[in-house]
Amino acid sequence: MLRTIWNALCRAIAWIGVRILLCGPVPQHIAIIMDGNRRFADRAGIDRKSGHGFGYDSLIQTLELCLDLGVRYVTVYAFSIDNFARSQEEVSALMELMREKLDLLVSNEGLATAKGIRVCVLGDLTLLPEDVRASANRAMAATKHNSITVLNICVAYTSTQEIVNATREAVKEALGLSSSKSGGSQLTNENDGRNSLKTLDSQITKESIERHLYTAGSPWPDVLIRTSGETRLSNFMLWQACHSHLAFCNVLWPNFSFRHLFWIIFQYQKSYRSLQHHWIKAQSFWIILQYQRSNRSLQHHWHKAQSFQTRQKFG
């Protein structure tokens, strides 16, 4: 009885909190490093897989709050490439949980199905066991037409691997090499090499690399949250989070609740003006840089054309 009253009270408070936050700018994209599942399990005296299971429940609750707030993109760090170094037992348990929860998410009763969430699993999926990769592909295919919110789940992911991969793809694109020809270009002479270098110099840009990041299609995160009191980014979205509002909170991920999210978004709203200012400054700096670059190359062509005309005129 008391518990029912308590739950109803919490729901009412969350409802009011959401209305308050909706009066200000709401982040379009929230990224989360869900940290502290094992410490939660150790403190609660339960096994670690159950700790990660409670972490998944916390993700679902947070996702529901994000939906109420109208957040369009949520990106979570579910498994880093470095996590493969954990004990065989824990990696297997986590992979099994991942497969189970991905299937649940997109089942008939799953949140993604019920609320129109598009699930994208990002990372080097070739590193995953076959069955987890199959679940990931199924989840992505089943939800590809959903458009209310995008849930990016980063698995077998590190930001540095993502940037290296994107750079490789951008180079292949610039040189016109399809992935089927990924054996690499055979440069036949020195001229070919020089031309390729020129192409790379002009075509490998910030945009060409961003087009190949796993998160291409999602805007950059406005807010990046890390729980459990750690104040590191641990190789998560290093490129995309360059202007994000960073929020480190002491709570362990399974205990993350509305009051933590409320406080983080409230802080984000307080710093919104100055964040916008940095964004605009960075963007206009980039536009000026691009303009100067193309201007230099235009001038170069201009001078070449002029000296050609002069040579024609005066022999």
Please report whether residue 34 would count as binding ligand FPP according to CB under 6 A: yes
Are the CB atoms for 100 and 50 separated by under 8 Å? no
Please report whether residue 225 would count as binding ligand FPP according to CB under 6 A: no
Please report whether residue 14 would count as binding ligand FPP according to CB under 6 A: no
Please report whether residue 118 would count as binding ligand FPP according to CB under 6 A: no
Please report whether residue 211 would count as binding ligand FPP according to CB under 6 A: no
| Whole-number Cα distances in Å, 96 to 11, 38, 106, 129, 156 | 32, 16, 16, 10, 14
Considering the complex, state which of residue 117 and residue 153 has its C-beta at the smaller distance from ligand FPP. 153
**Which one of 72, 101, 118, 226 is in contact with ligand FPP (CB under 6 A)?**
101
Which one of the spans 28-36, 65-73, 180-188, 283-291 is the region binding ligand FPP (CB under 6 A)?
28-36
Please report whether residue 56 would count as binding ligand FPP according to CB under 6 A: yes
Q: Give phi and psi for 78, each to the nearest 5.
A: -100, -30
Strand bridging mode 223-226 / 29-33: parallel
Please report whether residue 153 would count as binding ligand FPP according to CB under 6 A: yes
Q: How far is CA 312 from the centre of its chain?
A: 56
Which residues, at least 6 apart from 23, have a Cβ–Cβ distance to it below 8 Å? none
What letter would DSSP give residue 158? Answer: -
- Report the catalytic residues: 35
Please report whether residue 49 would count as binding ligand FPP according to CB under 6 A: no
**Which one of 18, 32, 37, 226 is in contact with ligand FPP (CB under 6 A)?**
37
Please give the Cα distance from 258 to 79 (Å, whole number): 24
Q: Catalog residues that contact ligand FPP under the rule CB under 6 A.
A: 34-39, 52, 55-56, 59, 78-79, 83, 97-98, 101-102, 153, 228
